[in-house]
């Protein structure tokens, strides 16, 4: 994915291709290029896009080289240019739309069989009814009543830890219940 760079930047780089106007820029790119390329790779989907992104960011840095006061902060400047350039590319991304004769319709998922749903409901309810009263109350409040652990604890007058441990034990018993084997 190549993104056009401003014309002034292209001319500046082209004019100084044979004779770099800023030798310090060239040495900076040679020294920090691999690190900056890794950063660019983390922002893009493939290595070609990362190289293009880094080249664009370095071009912007080259154009602004005289204006950058603190050359010790160059990595941050180039990383910011990488992120800003990538964000601009993402925002400018074009989505192609094609007209067609017929609208593509999604295949409807088959409706669940009401009889199978009732079998599942009955088997689950029989397994819940086998639980001790306290565990059953907590499971019903948590999962059928859709209460939080704190709300369940408040309704039953117990601590949240008690609700957590009792519900955990109850779910373990439900997992082991042989009456739920055909349902699994």
Q: What is the mean pLDDT of residues 101-127?
A: 83
The pLDDT assigned to 5 comes to: 43
Q: What is the mean pLDDT of residues 21-43?
A: 88
Confidence of residue 183 (pLDDT cuts 50, 70, 90): low
Closest of 138, 8, 120, 29 to residue 74, by C-alpha: 29
Q: Residue 7 pLDDT > 70, yes or no?
A: no
Closest of 141, 160, 140, 136 to residue 150, by C-alpha: 160
Closest of 86, 64, 91 to residue 77, by C-alpha: 64
**pTM (two decimals):** 0.42
What's the pLDDT tens digit per position in 39-93?
899 888 888 999 999 999 999 999 988 888 887 888 888 999 999 998 888 777 7
């Amino acid at each position: 994915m190549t993104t056009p760079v401003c014309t002034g930047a292209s001319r500046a780089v082209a004019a100084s291709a044979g004779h770099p106007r800023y030798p310090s820029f060239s040495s900076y790119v040679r020294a920090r290029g691999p690190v900056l390329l890794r950063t660019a790779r983390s922002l893009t989907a493939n290595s070609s896009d990362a190289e293009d992104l880094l080249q664009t960011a370095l071009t912007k840095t080259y154009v602004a080289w005289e204006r950058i006061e603190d050359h010790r902060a160059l990595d941050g400047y180039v990383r910011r240019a990488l992120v800003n350039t990538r964000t601009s590319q993402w925002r400018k991304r074009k989505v192609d739309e094609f007209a067609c004769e017929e609208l593509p319709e999604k295949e409807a998922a088959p409706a669940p069989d009401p009889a199978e749903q009732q079998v599942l409901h009955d088997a689950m309810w029989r397994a819940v009814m086998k639980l001790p009263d306290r565990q059953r109350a907590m499971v019903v409040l948590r999962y059928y009543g859709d209460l939080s652990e704190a709300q369940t604890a408040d309704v039953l007058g117990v601590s949240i830890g008690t609700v957590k441990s009792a519900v955990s034990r109850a779910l373990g018993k439900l997992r082991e219940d042989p009456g739920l084997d055909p349902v699994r």
